[in-house]
Structure 1
Amino acid sequence: MRRSLIDAKVLVTGGSSGIGRALCKKLVQRGAHVLATARREDRLQDLERECRQGPGSIQTLTGDLADPLHRHAVIDWIDGHWRKLDVLVNNAGAGAIGRFEQAGEERLRRIMEINFFAPAELTRECLPWLRAACASKRRPAILNIGSVLSHRAVPLKSEYCAAKFAMRGWSEALRVELVAERIDVLMLSPSTTKSEFFDSLLESTPGQKSPSVGSMSADQVAEEAIRVLIRSKRERILSWGGRMLVWLGRFFPRLTDWFLERFAIPKPNA
């Protein structure tokens, strides 16, 4: 069954930049009513201005989803304005680059909080409003923006990989738990995306460059997210490079380890 986005009530986290921002614009263009959340108020205000001419509409809330009070504010807004939720897009995320041994406990906990615990808790709190959408003859959906790194981890991003592995496992379990209620749990797993993600890392090893080969634009990833929603695709892994990494890691794990050790870890004086 194809999902219509016209008049759909959609919550998008991490909507101020990158994939989230591009997705908000495309949803509004397709007639959806969007609530976008992010930490940067000025960027959200810019997004509202950019979406004024769309057939849909957009509202914004500023805050950190890792803060339970902000999550409660989001739920209160849905309760006061929509009384249902057709689509939840868990997109907000953060990363760090560097050797695991050289990082502190705070980095691990912060990345797990932003990339896994916060979206999981937000989803739990949104479930009553997703169920309410079933009564309006719509089939609600949860779209989790994951990563190819939820299938094959790479060095220097151990905490981020762990969080994305957790999200994929949780998504698979939740999908089965909700199937009888006709709530779809979908996942989009991009490879490297040209966005501000690498400009806002929590920590980064000096001299480590953000990858660019094979990168997709945020707009391209957002268009794929729309397709996943419309077609109710369980999971879509993006880019030939991303699919190749997953395939190699599955069937040739030792070769993949060797390749990553050789080419993904900067060598001294290299």
Structure 2
Amino acid sequence: MAQRAALVTGASSGIGLAIARMLGAEGYGLTIAARRPEKLEEAAASLRDEGFELQAIPGNLSDEEHIQSVVAAHREKYGRLDVLVNNAGVGAGQPVGEITAKRLDLQLDLNLRSLVLFYRESVGMLREAGAEHRNAIVVNTASISGKSGEAWLSVYSATKHGVVGFTEAMNKELAGDGIKSCALCPGFVDTPMTDFVKGAVPADQMIRPEDIAEGVRMLLRVSPGCVIPEIIFQQPGGGLTGQPAG
């Protein structure tokens, strides 16, 4: 049984899978969660082939009962939670006069509401880990669009601004419990989420998912007295930013 454990949402590909792989290599027992069973199982198989201990739980990560079941299954398997990675998210661009309620609700529910509910359900285990080693970590995938609002991506930008703001609030609220939160704010990342723009922006000019994972690895290394509230990842010179990355 692993001495420490992590729960990663949106872990079937891209940033979430890269972070899960890094945490597995660091010796963490893993619970990985994502919406599509076939993609999640493919990711789980690749991680198991590398020798990592894990369980994979597919399902709707914007559903409150499913969120509760994911955290309960993690608790049942590992009995502890040292790192929570709220990575699941979706981006849907529309001009403001054409925003549909369905796409609005989808982004609000998965990008922001889900994150809050995962905190609520996980905070007990995080407090136990924080009491033990003062370095329980919550990683929240935001976006460079969470630092500067983007036209056409207004709802996405708003949800990612919300992620940054909630992360700041959690650092104030949970500091005494040894729980540290960090918002990841990347620009273009070479993931399936950016496939539609790769005709204009070559994948080899994008940030790599492994770059994001290395940023998270740093969070594991710093002392309990050091909080890194956010990390901004961008292309040299600033690069192009008007694109969902989380």
TM-score bin, normalised by smaller chain: 0.7 to 0.9
Matched, 1:215 2:206: yes
Tell me which residue corresponds to 1:36.
Answer: 32
Tell me which residue corresponds to 1:60.
Answer: 56
Specify the code of the residue in structure 1 equivalent to 2:41.
Answer: Q
Is the CA contact (8 Å cut-off) linking 1:90 and 1:119 kept in structure 2?
yes
Q: Distance in 2 between matches of 1:129 and 1:178?
A: 13
RMSD: 2.3
Aligned residue pairs: how many? Answer: 235
Q: Distance in 2 between matches of 1:237 and 1:73?
A: 32
Q: Distance in 2 between matches of 1:195 and 1:147?
A: 13
Tell me which residue corresponds to 1:257.
Answer: none
Tell me which residue corresponds to 1:268.
Answer: none
Matched, 1:227 2:222: no
Q: Distance in 2 between matches of 1:121 and 1:151?
A: 23
Deviation at 1:135, TM superposition (A): 4.1
Tell me which residue corresponds to 1:171.
Answer: 167
Deviation at 1:147, TM superposition (A): 0.8
Matched, 1:95 2:86: no
Is the CA contact (8 Å cut-off) linking 1:86 and 1:138 kept in structure 2?
no
Q: What is the SS of the residue equivalent to 1:176?
A: helix
Deviation at 1:188, TM superposition (A): 1.4
Q: What is the SS of the residue equivalent to 2:66?
A: helix
- Correspondence 1:25-174 to 2 at 5 A: 25-54=21-50, 56-137=52-133, 139-174=135-170
Q: Distance in 2 between matches of 1:147 and 1:242?
A: 17
Q: Distance in 2 between matches of 1:69 and 1:81?
A: 18
Specify the code of the residue in structure 2 equivalent to 1:41.
Answer: P
Is the CA contact (8 Å cut-off) linking 2:206 and 2:235 kept in structure 1?
no
51-60 or 15-24, larger mean C-alpha shift: 51-60
Is the CA contact (8 Å cut-off) linking 1:152 and 1:245 kept in structure 2?
no
Tell me which residue corresponds to 1:252.
Answer: none
Q: What is the SS of the residue equivalent to 1:216?
A: coil
Q: Distance in 1 between matches of 2:98 and 2:120?
A: 34
- Structure 1, gaps ≥5 residues long: 1-5, 200-207, 247-259, 265-270
